[in-house]
Amino acid sequence: MIHKNLLDILARQGFTRDNEHFQLPNGQTSSVYLAYGDESLILDKVAGLEVTPEIAVLITQRRERYAVELSEIRCVRVTPEATGPGYRT
């Protein structure tokens, strides 16, 4: 993915921006799909990202940090948390 497209996707998905850092609002969780050969590697519970023109650092809710090349990001999925307001089973 290119830098401009990722910034647009994060804004449209509800992430708030502070310079290079994007934070997901409370009550939501996200997954980031990464290219892994012909398959996808999925990082769940991503709460924030630090984005530069070539690299993104994905920060999970458990404060784990994964650094990836932007070209490896394929998709960003945002869903309400199971215990968040408005969640129905």
Give the CATH number of the domain where residue 35 resides: 2.30.30
Structure confidence at residue 89 (pLDDT): 42
Q: pLDDT exceeding 70 applies to what percent of the chain?
A: 91
With respect to residue 88, please indicate whether it lies within any of the assigned structural domains.
no
With respect to residue 86, please indicate whether it lies within any of the assigned structural domains.
no
Query: What one-letter code names the amino acid at 20?
Result: E
Domain count, the chain: 1
With respect to residue 50, please indicate whether it lies within any of the assigned structural domains.
yes
Chain segment 34-72, per-residue pLDDT in tens: 998 888 999 999 999 999 999 999 999 999 999 999 999
Torsion angle of C-alpha atoms 9, 51, 32, 65, degrees rounded to 10? -160
Structure confidence at residue 7 (pLDDT): 95
Rg (CA), the chain: 13
Enter the pTM of the model. 0.83
Domain span at 68: 3-79
